[in-house]
Amino acid sequence: MYKVYLVDDESYVIRELQILIDWQSFGYEIVGWAYDPAAAEREIAEMQPDVVILDVNMQGMSGLSLAERLRRAGVRAVICFLSAYDKFDYAVRAIDLGAKAYLTKPVQEERLKELLLRMKEELDGAEREGAPQDGRAPQEEPPEVRSDVVRDMLEHIERNYKDRISLTDYAEKYHYTVVYLSRLFKNSTGCSFIDYVVRYRMNKAAALIAAGEVSLKEAGWAVGYADYYQFSKIFKKYMGCSPREYRANNVKKSQAKKGK
């Protein structure tokens, strides 16, 4: 499944996109969305989705500006712009930023399906060509070298989970493409890079919350989330309940043990 992230400051647009088609039948999964461009920038840099669909006209930051910032941050996702206006100058700027499509609102079901099929062909092709950047074919590289790379990544994550961690940075360090390193990491650990990092952070946060020695916001800060809303949303996705509910459940368990 290719990961898709949606950005639009109108909540109804996000909802319409989510239900317009059966994304999974086309080989895609919506892994996140945001109404605020600044929050989207942080989550996209962290999640490293394969596709980003974002609105051109948003309060606070335009989609074009957000795309420029994402490119500078090393995000290599396929970008598709949305707009209620069919403006030529927008389309030209979108192409300059490497956008693969420019959709006008309201998005038509058939147009979206056509776009996803075309993007999937390109993404599939990129995966097939995802050999290390220095020209070595993966099968020519000793298995122990690949294992050392993943082990080094895991140790670095354990030491620096509070900081911004990007698969792109690791790819540059080891001279691999992002696609190849992503596949290597998943084959070695059984989960994607971003899932591993986020789950590691959430487990650390859960331990802090259960201990009851810090506030919920401080627990989020401790694992790298300055925005409590974003932290709470991700925590609930991975842990099955909100930070507040998690703390309440642990208080109940603790009281139950004392009562025995």
pLDDT, position 134:
45
Beta-sheet pairing, 78-83 with 51-55: parallel
Tokens (6 digits) for 138: 């993966």
CA distance 238 to 236: 6
If residue 6 lies in a helix (H) or strand (E), which one and from where to where?
strand 2-7
Backbone φ/ψ region at 27: left (φ over 0), alpha (ψ -120 to 50), beta? left
Give the residue with greater pLDDT, 137 vs 49. Answer: 49
CA distance 235 to 220: 9
Q: Which residues contact 138 (CB under 8 A, 6 or more apart)?
A: 131, 132, 146, 180, 184
Q: Mean pLDDT, to the nearest integer, of 108-122?
A: 85
Most confident of 85-94, 126-135, 198-207: 198-207
Task: With a cut of 70, say whether residue 25 has pLDDT above it.
Answer: yes
CA distance 145 to 184: 11
pLDDT, position 203:
93
Task: Assess contact for 166 and 48: CB atoms under 8 A.
Answer: yes
From the centroid of its chain, how far is CA 42? 9
Task: With a cut of 60, say whether residue 54 has pLDDT above it.
Answer: yes
Q: Where are the alpha helices (DSSP H) in 97-190?
A: 109-128, 143-160, 167-174, 178-189
pLDDT in tens, 129-178: 554 444 344 445 556 667 788 889 999 999 999 988 888 788 888 888 77
Strand partners of residue 6: 33, 53
Confidence of residue 196 (pLDDT cuts 50, 70, 90): confident
CA distances from 49 to 60, 73, 121, 133 (A): 22, 13, 16, 21
| pTM of the full structure | 0.54
pLDDT, position 137:
41
Task: Assess contact for 44 and 5: CB atoms under 8 A.
Answer: yes
Of all residues in the chain, the percent with pLDDT exceeding 90 is 27
pLDDT, position 123:
79
Task: Assess contact for 82 and 55: CB atoms under 8 A.
Answer: yes
Angle made by CA atoms 154, 169, 80, in degrees to the nearest 5: 115
How many helices (H) and strands (E) the chain has is answered by 12, 5
pLDDT, position 142:
59
pLDDT, position 132:
46
Q: Mean pLDDT, to the nearest integer, of 15-35?
A: 90
pLDDT, position 159:
93
pLDDT, position 46:
81
Angle made by CA atoms 123, 100, 170, in degrees to the nearest 5: 50
Task: With a cut of 90, say whether residue 222 has pLDDT above it.
Answer: yes
Tokens (6 digits) for 31: 């892994």
CA distances from 84 to 30, 93, 110, 191 (A): 22, 16, 17, 38
pLDDT in tens, 66-82: 888 888 877 888 888 88
- Torsion, CA 242, CA 246, CA 249, CA 250, rounded to 10: -170
CA distance 165 to 201: 11
